[in-house]
C-alpha cells in the first residue's frame, strides 16, 4: 500500500465520532455527506472553522503550508491560499451565518482543473452540549470527466480535512484567540 493511502487510513481512523458517505455518484457528479459530533458549542467550532490555516492539512494545499490559507467568512469572501507571488482561490463564500452555516462555491483541489462546480456546506447545530457538524459537498461537471470515479477519493480527503477540524475544535488549545492577518 502506498504511504499516502496508509496515512489517509490512519487519519480517518483517528477522526473519531464521524460518519462519512458518498450519498450519490454518477459520471456527471456526486454528493458527499459527513457528520461529526464535536464536544464544544457551535460558536467555538465556528471560530475554528473560519481559520483553516489552523487545522487544514498542509499536504492538501498547493503551497505545502496551511499557514498560507485564509477564509473571509462573509458573502463574497475568499477561501484563498497565497504564498510568494502565487495565489489560489479555492472557493467563494456565498452564505455565512456565524455559528450556524458556511457555504462556499468552489471546485477544491484537482477538481478545479476539470471545470467542475462544487458547493461545500458546513452546518453547525447544538447537540447535547456540543455540536453536530454536517459537511456536504455537491460536485457536478462534464460526464466525460467520470466524476463518479473521483467521489471515493474526494470523500476520504474531505473526511481527513474536516476530521482535523473536529479534533482541533474539541481541544482546549484551540480556545486561545487566533492571530490572523486579514486577507
Of residues 129 and 64, more confidence is placed in 64
CB atoms closer than 10 angstroms to residue 31:
17
CATH number at residue 119: 3.30.530.20
Q: Measured at the alpha carbon of residue 50, what is the angle toward residues 49 and 54, in degrees to the nearest 5?
A: 70
Q: Which domain holds residue 124?
A: 15-52+97-174
Tell me how many domains the chain contains. Answer: 1
Q: Does 165 score more than 60 pLDDT?
A: yes
Question: What is the reported pLDDT for 147?
Answer: 97
Residue 10 pLDDT: 36
Give me the pLDDT at residue 15, please. 39
Of 70 and 13, which is predicted with more confidence? 70
> Domain for residue 61, yes or no?
no
pLDDT digits (tens, 9 = 90+) for 14-68: 334 567 799 999 999 999 999 999 999 999 999 999 999 999 999 999 999 999 9
Q: Which residues of 116-138 are buried (b: 16+ CB within 10 A; e: fewer)?
A: bebbbbbbbeeeeebbbbbbbbb
Residues 138/29, Cβ–Cβ less than 8 Å: yes
Grouping H, G, I as helix, E, B as strand and the rest as coil, residue 110 is helix
Q: What is the pTM of this model?
A: 0.85
Amino acid at each position: 500500500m502506498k504511504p499516502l493511502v496508509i496515512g489517509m487510513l490512519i487519519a480517518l481512523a483517528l477522526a473519531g465520532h464521524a460518519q462519512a458517505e458518498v450519498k450519490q455518484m454518477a459520471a456527471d457528479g456526486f454528493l458527499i455527506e459527513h457528520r461529526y459530533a464535536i464536544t464544544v458549542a457551535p460558536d467555538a467550532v465556528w471560530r475554528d472553522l473560519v481559520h483553516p490555516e489552523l487545522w487544514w492539512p498542509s499536504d492538501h494545499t498547493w503551497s505545502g503550508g496551511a499557514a498560507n490559507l485564509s477564509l473571509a467568512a462573509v458573502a463574497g469572501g475568499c477561501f484563498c491560499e497565497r504564498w510568494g507571488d502565487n495565489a489560489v482561490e479555492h472557493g467563494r463564500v456565498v452564505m455565512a451565518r456565524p455559528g450556524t452555516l458556511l457555504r462556499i462555491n468552489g471546485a477544491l483541489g484537482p477538481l478545479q482543473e476539470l471545470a467542475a462546480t462544487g458547493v461545500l456546506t458546513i452546518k453547525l447545530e447544538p447537540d447535547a452540549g456540543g455540536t453536530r457538524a454536517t459537511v456536504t459537498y455537491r460536485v457536478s461537471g462534464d460526464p466525460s470527466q467520470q466524476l463518479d470515479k473521483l467521489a471515493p477519493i474526494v470523500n476520504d480527503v474531505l473526511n481527513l480535512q474536516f476530521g482535523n477540524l473536529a479534533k482541533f475544535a474539541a481541544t482546549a488549545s484551540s480556545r486561545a484567540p487566533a492571530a490572523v492577518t486579514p486577507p
